[in-house]
Structure 1
Amino acid sequence: MQNQVIEDVVESIAQAVGRGLSLEDPDGVLLAYSSHQTSADRVRVNFLLSKKVPPDVNEWQLRHGIAQAVRAVAVPANEELGMLGRICVPLLVRGFRVGYLWVQQRSGEDPAAGILASLAAVRPSIDRLAELLLETDSASSERRTQREAAFLAACRGAAPAVEELRGWRDFGAHGPWRVAVVHEVSDGGGQARPDATSDAEDPHEAALLHRTVALQATVGVVPVLFSAGASAFSVLLCAPGIGRSALQEVLDRYGAQIAKRAGRAAGRLVVGLSEPAPDVRDLATAFVQAQHAVQAAVVDPGLGEVTAYAGIGVYQFLGALGWQAPRHGSVHFGELSEAERVDELLPVLELLYDKNGSVQDVAAQLHLHRSSVYNRLARVRSIIGVDPLAGSVRLELHLALKANRWRRRPRFEQT
């Protein structure tokens, strides 16, 4: 249905300008063309038959700046190629390039200036066409797929991919950049939603969903330079000055896109942001930091939905220790865990540590009377035989509580 709408829009533009049109994606693959065939040159005929721009024609077009153009560009005729002059209209949606619309000149005497002037009247249709392309297949195009794969490989430290990224104009010659990881979790915390799509059964479908949603959620968000999707998360390359408000906007749009494309309400969405990476070789370190920030936000909702690596505290150390941690590394924590029956003691104790020992704040957040908090602290003291607010005991138990949360973090694929 969407393809038919695209073809109809192309046909209506062709009729308005009175010339043959062709529509291609950023990879030079034919998407649609008009039935208007007046003075079709050899290049147009071959393009309609092969569905792909040949290398020599592509080189001629690129030589005239179409890849960087944001306005219509006149590409002159090339007799050797059998090519009449044509106008290239880059199709952009809020700065994102989704394809090219080509308007062929009728002959060598058909001035490009006349075509350029006529485009103003069909600008709404051109903008509509760009929106339709963004809605359909920009995330699944060959070029986009390859670039996302290269970006993810660079984030995992693959040297060839790192070198490939150095040549990408999108990023500029030098950093710094920051990496952000977006993850959807179930309402209960820890792991990915069991109903998140048939994602758990088909990682390829899950990755396509994350790729498409990340692309749609970041279009027009200027500090987000690139996005890529994996089966359990998406990764964003960001300008170093990206702020909390921009990332919150991405999360809001991400949730709306999941509802639109997966036909369900989004679960809790969190984003973790790395420290600045001054060089593409540092993207792997930044990627790990962003993952750890997301994992901390998943297991510790108090950190918020937008979490920077520098703000996750002790989870930085837990992340650096690797994947394995003993279940009860603390004797006192083990004693409390065995005595805990209905989550009365440990939540109060952890919140008291998090709130700098303020009983009033703990009571307010847990909707308890202050005397109830004191009573529970007394029970903790009687179980472990020492004061839980004493310096070394407090450090031990606070770390054990955070390590217990860390064990419930989502595990992301490492390949």
Structure 2
Amino acid sequence: MDLQDLLEDLAQRLGRGLFVDSTDGRMLGYSKQDAHADPARVASVMSRRVAPEIREWQNRYGISKATEVVRLPPNAELGIRARFCVPIRRDGRCLGYLWASADGKALDETALGALQGAAAELARVLAGRGDEREDLIRWLLDPDRTGEGALRKSARRPFAIGIGDPVPFEVRAVREAYGQARAAAGVAALDPALPRVLPWSGAGPYRMLLPVAPGPDPVLVPLENDEELVRTLETYLDAGCDVQRTAASLHLHRTTVYYRLDRIATTLGADLRDGLVRSHLHLALKARRLSGWPSNGHSS
């Protein structure tokens, strides 16, 4: 049973609207029948992505580390009705989230078991997609493959594989993912600092230099509510990653700067020692200034 069939079957049995999104906010699937869909969910379905402010609010309830069902209260400001979240986990990793509308109804043991069982099945489906991708990559790179065994040995130009973001099987989404894959393959072939097999999500500063993905790069989203860390990061990068200069500019002790940089790296899941990571973040910070985000401005 594929992801969509699984959602439709479970939604019908539970009498609740369901949807699944990835940990980075991409909409992966949703049940078609849901009379109680809230404005936030409708917007996510239309854009195929969960808005950053909604993701930030959801993450306050610890869903990324949860192993059981989490109930989130309504949020009128964001257009969210009460909902249940079931983390989709496999081998210790969170692959995404299964959401069920609460509609004022508690989960009985039967519904709870059905949701958890569905999350386990979804984990197999989502992990299976990754396994298929790895099999395809190995097949493409296999020098002993019949008929094309000399593909890499005889290549006269750099060889690389680009991977677009996972998307639903819809024309517009597939076209965008194809553009991402082509762009990732192109920069991986040109830049020796990048791996030969490159997901678009790992393209670093090239994500901002190439007009492939519409909208602002989400790399800074985890820091959007901590202006202190944003300012520290920008000052650090402006200072050529010199901690002493950064500390002097911010009137801080160097130990405080190191502490903040550690928090930044942990929050972003980024290695600040990596030159491409630093370039990506620096570009994103300057683009942030140009866009005027957030609305209350940013001063240094």
Indicate the TM-score class for this superposition, using the shorter chain for normalisation: 0.3 to 0.5
TM-score (norm 1): 0.34
TM-score (norm 2): 0.46
